[in-house]
Amino acid sequence: MNTPSQTSAYFSRLRTSAEFATAIDELTGKMLEAQKRKADLVIAEDAAFFGQGDLETVQTDLRACNTEIETLERQIDGAQRRRQEAAATERLSEIDQVGKDAQAKAKVLADHLHRAYERIEALRSDLFEADALTVSLTAANNTLDAAGRHDLKINVTTVRREAMSGPRAPVPARLSRKGLVADKMLQSFLSLGGVLDRRATTGGNAATGDLVEMKGMAHHAFQSGG
């Protein structure tokens, strides 16, 4: 058995709850061994009462064994308290780390949102220009229709389809419901029948189709959680 000074020096080197748990396992193993020795000494003491062995020697060993068990029990209790204290400190450290990670992610989120803001504002400017050009081309087509020059008309839908075709980024598997709604809205700018398609989408005129499309998207956005 280690001396008190050796045990104290050993425990002073322990820092983490895992280290204290290992120490507790070691001490528990020693205590089980001591308890087994005690059981054997009790049997030897009974035999010594009837002349089988040195009673004084057996009783001296039994007292030493009892002292060892009491010491080990105190050491285990102390190690358990220290393990709980270390675990509490580790939990606080983990919470602090979660907070630091959250602050770092918030900064990255702000950067992404600001870039999205800049791109959306740039997109709005492009869409304003595209809308004005679409209106102008529609008026030109009407003029060409009236003049019987159908060969000079511009198919605005074909222009839009060719200009906005291309690969699409895959949707992340864990995208939130609000993220899915936002993605659907963004993709509606690229899709036939979407908000930029001036053809009628409900069997009526283009204005009616646009109005129904926008109302449907707005309703979906407000009704979806995230």
Asked if residue 213 belongs to a domain, the reply is yes
The answer to whether the beta carbons of residues 185 and 175 sit under 8 Å apart is no
Q: Which position has the token pair 């074909």?
A: 158
pLDDT at position 115 is 96
The token pair that represents 72 in the structure block: 């080990």
Asked if residue 111 belongs to a domain, the reply is no
pLDDT at position 112 is 94
The length of the chain, given as a count of residues:
226
Integer Cα distance of 14 and 20 in angstroms: 6
Do both 14 and 86 map to the same domain?
yes
The answer to whether the beta carbons of residues 16 and 23 sit under 8 Å apart is no
Asked if residue 50 belongs to a domain, the reply is yes
Full residue range of the structural domain in which residue 195 is found: 155-226
Integer Cα distance of 201 and 25 in angstroms: 74
Asked if residue 126 belongs to a domain, the reply is no
Asked if residue 143 belongs to a domain, the reply is no
Count up the domains in the chain and report the number.
2
Asked if residue 104 belongs to a domain, the reply is no
pLDDT at position 211 is 46
Asked if residue 144 belongs to a domain, the reply is no
Do both 170 and 92 map to the same domain?
no
Do both 11 and 95 map to the same domain?
yes
Residue finishing a domain among 99, 118, 144: 99
Integer Cα distance of 179 and 225 in angstroms: 10
The stretches of 13-54 forming alpha helices (DSSP H) are: 17-49
Q: How far is CA 29 from CA 8, 26, 69, in A?
A: 18, 5, 11
Integer Cα distance of 11 and 1 in angstroms: 15
pLDDT at position 42 is 93
Do both 15 and 93 map to the same domain?
yes
The stretches of 147-205 forming alpha helices (DSSP H) are: 156-163, 177-188
Asked if residue 219 belongs to a domain, the reply is yes
The answer to whether the beta carbons of residues 145 and 153 sit under 8 Å apart is yes
Q: Which position has the token pair 């709005």?
A: 124
Backbone φ, ψ for residue 175 (5° rounding): -65, 135
pLDDT at position 121 is 95
Do both 81 and 162 map to the same domain?
no
Do both 174 and 92 map to the same domain?
no
Average pLDDT across each block of 10 residues of the chain; the chain has 226 residues. List them in order: 60 84 93 94 91 89 94 92 91 92 96 94 91 94 95 92 88 92 87 68 44 46 42
Do both 95 and 9 map to the same domain?
yes
Amino acid of residue 160 = R
Do both 90 and 162 map to the same domain?
no
Do both 95 and 161 map to the same domain?
no
Q: Which of 194, 185, 171 is nearest to 220 (CA)?
A: 185
Do both 26 and 95 map to the same domain?
yes
pLDDT at position 212 is 43
Do both 10 and 95 map to the same domain?
yes
